[in-house]
Amino acid sequence: MAETYLTSEKPSNSSPLNPPSRIICNVCQKQFSQYTCPRCNSRYCSLPCYKSHSVRCTESFMRENVVDELRQLQPDDQTKRKMLEILKRVHSDEEADPLDADADDSTLSDETIQKILSGGEVNIDDLSLEEKKRFQRALASGELSKMIEPWEPWWLKPAARTICLSRDGARLIQHTVSPEDDPESNQPSEIPHGPETPLPSLCKLISTEPSPLLTVHLVDILYSYCFTLRMYNGDWQSDAVGSAMVVLSISSVLGQAGQPETLSEALCYCLEQTCSPAYRDIGGFQFGLTIVDDVTSLLSLGGPALVCMLCDLQRMIVAAERELKSEKQRKPRKSEMKNKLKLAERKVYFIMCWVHEQPGEAWSSLAAIVSAEKSSLMEYGGNKSFPITEKNVAENKGKALIEEM
């Protein structure tokens, strides 16, 4: 029986009495087709014909494969996955633009895609020259920031006002309501968990009275924590070492073993670091004032929220220590970093135990004082001709403000 040659895309029914029909490739019209495009069901004979049968079809199919592969990555690859998802969205938006006549310019190279699919590390050096240019243009224009969902700090959420801990400082065991049962309920992951074990009494940690400057040191630590979480969009877990290093660079208490004696001194140091070349592009002085507002908000929540915040900071530092220990490659000053993190962890734990023993009304008073300090900083902020120091800010203070305090 003679074979039948078809050019239709409809599949033919084959049986022992009816040999299979042979369908001509829809692309080259020269060879018999052996494959079917999973998206448009077009028949083709080879890889070149598949790539040329529909540029948008093949690119879309490859992009979906990349996204599916990225979803299967382990949580340790979270940073890489986020970067790649942003890159894919950038190129998807460019491809969807009808004014873009050259479709090939809106895609990642085959080499980059193959590296992604194979699970390899991808960084800026793996991109082609044209891909780097498009990525840098998107970065400079702010397109990448638009693709990142705005993060709302947990201390500004309604659930933060209802944080409760046990009398010994440990977190309470609460029944979790699923979102399906109560769509309006807050997710338990929004608020950092408190300590898993009871906090010891200060008399078991030190034999003398705690320093009266601990309130100043607490504000310094609060500022560094809020700054870091806003910088990392709330996701310090994606880079625990980097997040912990930011905390140490902003906090004089944790990073420099500093002993600020006044709130003005503590806030001026933090603002000076915020306006330094390392972090100037984040927002400068105005961003620093936003962090001061965050500090006031956290203090207004009371002791339980402060304990949860310090517990979250302790987890960050411990995670950074664990990452440094697991890294096989030697980093410059790795030993010094580990020592600083260890000391910072101890200080945070001590402050946490101290906070737990303070009366609740102390935090509202401290919040009011920090708010007053912000007013002084705002008066000073208009003069950029001299550096931010405690002396300069103090000179701008009015006597009425001091008398009021």
Q: Are 319 and 312 in contact (CB under 8 A)?
A: no
Domain membership of residue 374 (yes or no) is yes
How many whole angstroms separate alpha carbon 61 and alpha carbon 40? 10
Q: Looking at the structure, do residues 283 and 244 belong to the same domain, yes or no?
A: yes
Mean pLDDT, residues 317-325: 91
What confidence tier does 243 reach under pLDDT thresholds 50, 70, 90? Answer: very high
What confidence tier does 147 reach under pLDDT thresholds 50, 70, 90? Answer: low
pTM here? 0.62
pLDDT in tens, 50-106: 777 776 676 666 666 656 655 555 445 666 666 666 666 666 665 555 444 444 444
Largest pairwise CA distance in the chain: 108
Domain membership of residue 308 (yes or no) is yes
Domain membership of residue 352 (yes or no) is yes
pLDDT in tens, 359-396: 988 999 999 999 999 888 877 654 544 345 545 544 54
Q: Looking at the structure, do residues 134 and 78 belong to the same domain, yes or no?
A: no
Q: Looking at the structure, do residues 357 and 246 belong to the same domain, yes or no?
A: yes
Percent of the chain with pLDDT over 90: 31
Q: Looking at the structure, do residues 137 and 199 belong to the same domain, yes or no?
A: no
Q: Looking at the structure, do residues 71 and 130 belong to the same domain, yes or no?
A: no
Q: Is the pLDDT of residue 182 over 80?
A: no
Q: Looking at the structure, do residues 40 and 57 belong to the same domain, yes or no?
A: yes
Number of folded domains that form the chain = 3
Q: Looking at the structure, do residues 162 and 118 belong to the same domain, yes or no?
A: no
Q: Looking at the structure, do residues 237 and 352 belong to the same domain, yes or no?
A: yes
Q: Looking at the structure, do residues 238 and 222 belong to the same domain, yes or no?
A: yes
Higher pLDDT residue, 213 or 135? 213
Q: Looking at the structure, do residues 304 and 203 belong to the same domain, yes or no?
A: yes
Burial class (CB in 10 A: 0-12, 13-18, 19+), 199: buried
pLDDT in tens, 111-135: 776 666 666 666 777 777 887 777 7
How many whole angstroms separate alpha carbon 20 and alpha carbon 296? 77
Residue 321's pLDDT is 92
List the domain range (segments joined by +) for residue 69.
35-86
Q: Looking at the structure, do residues 126 and 78 belong to the same domain, yes or no?
A: no
Domain membership of residue 204 (yes or no) is yes
Domain membership of residue 277 (yes or no) is yes
Residue 156's pLDDT is 93
How many whole angstroms separate alpha carbon 288 and alpha carbon 314? 23
Q: Looking at the structure, do residues 225 and 136 belong to the same domain, yes or no?
A: no
Query: Which of 20-29, 176-185, 325-334 is predicted with the least confidence, judged by mean pLDDT?
Result: 176-185
How many whole angstroms separate alpha carbon 242 and alpha carbon 287? 20
Domain membership of residue 227 (yes or no) is yes
Higher pLDDT residue, 297 or 115? 297
